[in-house]
Chain A
Amino acid sequence: SQQGEEDPQALSIQEGENATMNCSYKTSINNLQWYRQNSGRGLVHLILIRSNEREKHSGRLRVTLDTSKKSSSLLITASRAADTASYFCATDSGGYQKVTFGTGTKLQVIP
């Protein structure tokens, strides 16, 4: 079963707008990571947030984590057509074999 569930499943926005996607998970975690997947490619790591952190920034990415609600959000500001991809959250509950991926949000940025 999936640990993480992303919401929405698909998102279509205009270039320049902000994109927000959410991830909910079921059990306690050590950290939560976001990955990006371009069509037909493998996943690429974007950003990690630890369970004792509430917010993290990296360039145009902003990640928040609410452990009381077991949820995280990924915000991409000033989106570009090149941001078109699927985005996955991955939770680490301890022990590297327990990294579990969510179902993903498919983002389309229209030029």
Chain B
Amino acid sequence: NAGVTQTPKFQVLKTGQSMTLQCAQDMNHNSMYWYRQDPGMGLRLIYYSASEGTTDKGEVPNGYNVSRLNKREFSLRLESAAPSQTSVYFCASLGLAGGYSYNEQFFGPGTRLTVL
């Protein structure tokens, strides 16, 4: 049981390049999330997917697109990277915990992205 996995761990892009961040979970969770984390800003929600086949914008969606490929996988795409997108990106899934009494988010290890 690997939990939530993300690839790549590190990436350096030039302004204008595109890339896709991959995320997968093996916990059979319905909901998945993409966050970005910047110093002093905490975690900000980019996009989420409440279930397979649905995606919705979060707090900071501009410049990103997502695909919920199947129940396991949720990818984040930067079509034309900008220096303002330099950040650490976390994928998370939501599942029941505490004896099924509440929802808990499970996080991947993160992707450190630098845009030059």
Residues on A facing B (Cβ under 8 Å): 1-2, 4, 9, 31, 33, 35, 40-45, 48, 50, 88, 90, 92, 96-97, 99-104
Contacts and interface: CB of A to CB of B under 8 A. Distances in A.
Interface of B: 4, 31, 35, 40-45, 48, 50, 56, 58-59, 90, 92, 94, 97-98, 102-110
A42 B108 contact: yes
Contacts of B106: 45
A61 B103 CA distance: 20
Contacts of B109: 41-42
B91 to A, nearest CB: 8
Instruction: Please give me the 5 A-B residue pairs with the lowest Cβ-Cβ distance, nearest first.
Output: A42-B107, A101-B43, A103-B42, A43-B107, A101-B42
Given A42-B110, A99-B105, A9 B40 contact: yes
Contacts of B35: 101
Contacts of B92: 42-43
A43 B35 CA distance: 11
Given A97-B50, A101-B42, A103-B40, A48 B98 contact: yes
Contacts of A42: 4, 90, 92, 107-110
A9 to B, nearest CB: 7
A96 B94 contact: yes
Contacts, number: 58
A41 B98 contact: no
Nearest to B94: A96
Contacts of B105: 35, 43, 45, 90, 99
A96 B98 CA distance: 16
B104 A45 contact: yes
A60 B89 CA distance: 30
Contact of A102 (B42, B50, B102): B42
